[in-house]
């Protein structure tokens, strides 16, 4: 929250200097559910962006992305040679990313390619239920780079269709010699959404 307020302050300071072309608001989302063996996996994500144009080719903006990964079902466990138990479990992870980015449009037209980069804060909250026990953990990555490429298509005077590919470092837990260890990995997000120009 403090990071988001700081970013809003920076945008406000920049806007007070004038020279901005327009304010763009973007929104995108996704949802999926899959079933495999004894488990059900569901995921959803939503992303909102506010950007201020400095002329036709440069935008500075804030992005808030929130994603959910939910796993539930039964874990098959062998008790002994003749007994197999099916144990219910839940494994839910929420990922929150706040970033401030500079976007550079390579061409200003009906189809406009762009590149962007900036800095982000990522928060992870994980809740696990297994064997009548509940666990909760949280991790924060800050500051981490946030960058990518994209393309917008003019739909009307104020609306554009936006497609983007974003790369941001993330956190993954791996098992090494029976011990859980965290390591930084590169996450990628492909998003399709719309932007509205005020």
pLDDT, average across residues 115-130: 94
pLDDT band at 36 (very low <50, low <70, confident <90, very high): confident
How distant, in Å, are the alpha carbons of 6, 26, 118, 119 from that of 98?
Answer: 11, 14, 11, 9
Residue 38, classed as helix, strand or coil, is coil
Asked if the model's pLDDT at residue 81 lies above 90, the reply is no
pLDDT in the model for residue 58: 92
What CA–CA distances, in Å, run from 145 to 102, 115, 116, 184? 12, 14, 11, 12
For residue 146, pLDDT beyond 70: yes
User: Does residue 16 register a pLDDT over 60?
Assistant: no
Q: Where in 155-197 does DSSP place strands (E)?
A: 159-176, 179-197
Quick one: tokens of 194? 């719309």
pTM for the predicted model, two decimal places: 0.80
Residue 88 — pLDDT band, cuts 50, 70, 90?
very high
Token pair 């099916």: residue? 86
Q: Which residue did the predictor score with more confidence, 157 or 103?
A: 103
Question: Out of 17-31, 83-97, 98-112, 181-195, which region has the weakest mean confidence (pLDDT)?
Answer: 17-31
Coil, strand or helix at 109: coil
Tell me how crowded residue 131 is: count the other CB atoms within 10 A of its CB: 9
pLDDT beyond 90 at 117: yes
pLDDT more than 70, % of the chain: 86
Q: How confident is the model at residue 108 (pLDDT cuts 50, 70, 90)?
A: confident
Domains of the chain from N-terminus onward: 2-197 (2.40.160.20)
Residues near 6 by beta carbon (within 8 Å), at least 6 away in sequence: none
């Amino acid at each position: 929250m403090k990071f988001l307020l700081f970013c809003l302050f920076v945008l406000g300071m920049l806007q007070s200097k004038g020279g901005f072309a327009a304010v763009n608001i973007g929104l995108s989302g996704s949802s999926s559910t899959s079933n495999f063996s004894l488990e059900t996996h569901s995921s959803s994500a939503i992303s909102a962006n506010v950007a201020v144009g400095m002329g036709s080719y440069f935008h500075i903006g804030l992005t808030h992305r929130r994603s959910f990964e939910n796993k539930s079902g039964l874990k098959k466990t062998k008790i002994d040679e003749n007994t197999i138990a099916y144990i219910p479990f839940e494994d839910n992870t929420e990922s929150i990313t706040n970033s401030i980015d500079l976007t550079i449009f390579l061409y200003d037209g009906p189809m406009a390619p762009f590149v962007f980069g900036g800095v982000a804060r990522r928060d992870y909250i994980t809740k696990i239920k297994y064997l009548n026990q509940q666990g909760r953990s949280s991790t924060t990555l800050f500051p981490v780079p946030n960058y990518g490429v994209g393309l917008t298509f003019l739909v009307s005077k104020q609306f554009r269709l936006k497609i983007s590919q974003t790369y941001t470092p993330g956190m993954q837990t791996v098992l090494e010699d029976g011990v859980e260890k965290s390591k930084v990995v590169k996450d990628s997000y492909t998003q399709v959404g719309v932007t509205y120009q005020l």
